[in-house]
Amino acid sequence: MTVVDSRQLALRRQNVAPSYATGFGQLPFLDLLRGVWRGAQSVAVIPQRVAEALGTDATELKLSTHTVLKQLRRHPEIGASEYRMVQRVLDVGEVYRDRENHVAVLKVGRRNLEVVAKRTQDDAEVYLVSLRYVNPKWVAKRRKKGAGRT
């Protein structure tokens, strides 16, 4: 795995992360939410500790149309404001190995938010596969299990 210099990551974040946050609630993200736009869109810069837990050199977290449509069905309470928080969750959240090629990043606070990301088998990309609020019982279970906490 290539180690990304912290200065390179900071520069990348400075150049691209703001566009992720401001893009939510605007096109093409609204088109992605409506299922009009097909494909994938980058939603965050992957911090080094998350990349290491996934075993990847990828630097961007992508969101596919398929996942957005699935999320709208399973978690209708998740909207653009939650997607704006993905970068913050990745930056400060607790990282857990979830299953093969997956990590869960949990940000505990007034409302606990969990991001699950998956690395592709060819190691070329990382996709957001789940974004959801979790209750305190789930947080306690995740912490107690603790297996794979990085």
Q: What is the pLDDT of residue 123?
A: 87
- Does the predicted model carry a pTM greater than 0.95? no
CA nearest neighbour of 117 among 70, 74, 56:
56
Q: CB within 8 A of 84, min separation 6: which ones?
A: 21, 24, 25
108/141 Cα distance (integer angstroms): 13
What residues does each domain of the chain span? Answer: 6-145
Question: Greater confidence, 5 or 46?
Answer: 46
Which residue is associated with the tokens 């494909």? 39
Tell me the torsion sign for CA atoms 54, 56, 60, 62. negative
- pLDDT per position as a tens digit, 92-118: 999 998 888 999 999 999 999 999 999
Model confidence band, residue 21 (pLDDT cutoffs 50, 70, 90): very low
